Structure 1
């Protein structure tokens, strides 16, 4: 089997029609979102969610984000506290996932929530939103790649990795944000916002919209309550090392803002996430450049320092997970979203 590719910009109605049809059969479909490409399936069906896990080789204890088309759909399945609603109204559709308590009668399947009594909900923009509205059910959608590997930001990335395992790839062009969604959970009693995973929406923007600060988790989580919380993640085949100031001959180099790195003239490949120092551009290029550096054949990928502010927080989070030790037990995958 080889996946069919339909370009959403060229044949939008056919893309919607075929997407709804394949999803209705309980199969997984690769869909474009503004963050990364997602491997989507009906979040209310155990068989559909199982196909996501099987296709990705994903640990089943890790929850999946469920994608909705608006707040009204989200309210069918989860309960909003005032601060969470404020955030949804400010940033949906967009790259923000909110962890919310499930309603007792929610039909989102427990396989999608890993048995938790909460669910991560996101409202994506663009074509994905239109597809969910037409399907009229939430879509569970981690990123469309083999578990633990680099997330895809184009239909070609998906085809190269999963093209023989899924029936349909909906091609919406390059992902505009390029890193997964930011994940937060609000304490309904205190209104405290906990940042579970930095992502495509800067924490500073969330704090500004909510009129309150953001609390960051100290140390590793004992319970996996959202995607992207395990140590080793987003990993290319080559070993990754961070904050490089010099490289050895034959290493691949990913730099930022035109940084001069000792020995870079002997690199297998030199890629600049953003020569102008634009963190949004760097985020959009991150996963594609990791793939390109990996494809150079280098055994090691050296990455220069990235400012740890704004979207740089999300970039550094992904790079730290890509560089983490890989013992097999820590490999997992993130949400799309």
Structure 2
């Protein structure tokens, strides 16, 4: 099983051990404000291959490369003025920008799935310390088996990947609880590739631009989280439930009871007060709890699609999609 080191009580040991394993070209699990990431040297093709192998992830699905700061990011990607303005406003934080790679970047094409662009994010917290100490970009998708529920605690990672990796850095529960928002600027227009932990309305307020949402048909996979089926528990997922069937788990919102919930295997409320930020932080953890009951399906009450609700509903729609 993986070694688990608490970054809050033993940060020096956590950082030292992380450097040892990363330098060996092996992936480790690191805490970020979004979800836990499975991190490895983005310039080392063997290290990147181990990420794909550990997750069982298809290699046409590119990896986000994490940077210590904007200065590091500029050494690997070309920023247009609008992308730079967005980065300066929202980094570090739950934002990924898809940018053209520089010709001399050492980021290996395997991390980019052969694309001439790269998704870049600057995280907060202990992940930032790891990146600063390592001095090179870390490719870091979510630390879970591909297509399954994303991990928001070290315990989630250990239960899923603990027998496949050497080290888990335990930084406590993720603050945001949803993966990053992914944006791409094309000819001065901002395209949303994945809604996430950054509210896109905040970007629209900053830039004065209306963000373009993707059309579902014929979407090219150019960033993580764009597969139709993703974030899936073992149980089936039923959305916009107005009642609960026997044997189902219920995840509701806003303190609103549903008929039949007395027959549910478990009843969880993402936010009794109707706070979408609280709901986002609880989403994946509550999906894990509901799935652990052995329920045949998980019923989700309707969740508003405004603000962070857009990202929450995106995750739920992909969790409920037909599975290959």
TM-score past 0.5 threshold: yes
What's 1:229 paired with? 226
What is the alpha-carbon distance in structure 2 between the residues aligned to residue 213 and residue 222 of structure 1? Answer: 20
Matches within 5 A, 1:1-337: 2-187=1-186, 189=187, 191-327=188-324
What is the alpha-carbon distance in structure 1 between the residues aligned to residue 219 and residue 246 of structure 2? Answer: 40
What is the alpha-carbon distance in structure 2 between the residues aligned to residue 67 and residue 172 of structure 1? Answer: 17
What is the alpha-carbon distance in structure 2 between the residues aligned to residue 53 and residue 221 of structure 1? Answer: 24
The structure, 1 or 2, with the larger RCO (C-alpha pairs under 8 Å, 6+ apart) is 1
SS state at 1:40 partner: strand
TM-superposed CA distance for 1:79, in Å, is: 0.2
Kindly report the root-mean-square deviation, in angstroms, between the aligned alpha carbons of the 2 structures. Answer: 0.7
What is the alpha-carbon distance in structure 2 between the residues aligned to residue 298 and residue 220 of structure 1? Answer: 32
Partners of 1:239 and 1:323 within 8 A in 2:
yes
**TM (normalized to structure 1)?**
0.95
What is the alpha-carbon distance in structure 2 between the residues aligned to residue 273 and residue 196 of structure 1? Answer: 25
SS state at 1:217 partner: coil
TM-superposed CA distance for 1:221, in Å, is: 4.2
TM-superposed CA distance for 1:249, in Å, is: 1.1
SS state at 2:212 partner: strand
SS state at 2:155 partner: helix
**TM (normalized to structure 2)?**
0.99
What is the alpha-carbon distance in structure 2 between the residues aligned to residue 213 and residue 96 of structure 1? Answer: 17
TM-superposed CA distance for 1:13, in Å, is: 1.4
TM-superposed CA distance for 1:62, in Å, is: 0.3
Partners of 1:221 and 1:229 within 8 A in 2:
no
What is the alpha-carbon distance in structure 2 between the residues aligned to residue 181 and residue 118 of structure 1? Answer: 17
What is the alpha-carbon distance in structure 2 between the residues aligned to residue 128 and residue 245 of structure 1? Answer: 40
Gap regions ≥5 residues in structure 1: 328-337
Gap regions ≥5 residues in structure 2: none
SS state at 1:52 partner: helix
Deviations 1:285-311 (A, max 9, x none): 000100111011110100000000000
Matched positions, count = 324
